[in-house]
């Protein structure tokens, strides 16, 4: 379980560190830049949660299908995951 959990924990901590560094850099630039980041951050975080949730669901479906030896279901899950991710990326890109 740790072999699966540690990379996810590191990824989560990395995201927090990136946000802290962004805040520090923008605060040094201007209060306007920091304010813009503060307004965009919640939208970004909501999008991130949705995308990560979707990616996890696709990974689980692919792993289950692969474990069952069902190559057709693997291909179907990957196609659905990629298509939905592309559409979500476009929508999130427009919103942001």
What is the pTM (predicted TM-score) of this model? Answer: 0.61
* Residue 34 to residue 76: CA distance in whole angstroms: 43
Lowest mean pLDDT segment, chosen from 18-22, 35-39, 45-49, 85-89: 45-49
- Mean per-residue pLDDT for 21-40? 90
Find the mean pLDDT for residues 12-25. 89
Residue 49 corresponds to which tokens in the numbers above? 């949660």
Query: pLDDT for 33-82, tens place per residue?
Result: 999 988 888 888 887 888 888 888 898 999 999 999 999 999 999 999 99
Is residue 47 within 8 A of residue 92, CB to CB? The reply is yes
Query: Considering only CA atoms, which of 13, 81, 27 is closest in space to residue 51?
Result: 81
Q: What is the pLDDT of residue 47?
A: 79
Looking at residue 24, its pLDDT comes to 92
What's the CA gap between 11 and 7, in Å, rounded?
6
* pLDDT at 8 (0 to 100): 80
Contact 47, 77 (CB under 8 A): no
Domain edges within the chain: 12-95
Cα separation of 42 and 76, whole Å?
A: 32
Nearest-angstrom CA–CA distance, 29 and 35: 11
Mean pLDDT of 10-28: 89
């Amino acid at each position: 379980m740790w072999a699966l959990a540690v990379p996810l924990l590191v990824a989560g901590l990395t995201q927090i560190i990136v946000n802290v560094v962004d805040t520090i850099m923008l605060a040094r630039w201007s209060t306007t830049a920091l304010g813009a980041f503060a307004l965009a951050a919640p939208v970004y975080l909501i999008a991130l949660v949705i995308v990560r949730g979707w990616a996890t669901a696709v990974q689980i479906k692919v792993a289950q299908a692969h474990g069952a030896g069902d190559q057709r279901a693997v291909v179907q899950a990957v196609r659905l995951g990629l298509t939905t991710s592309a559409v979500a990326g476009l929508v999130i890109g427009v919103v942001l």
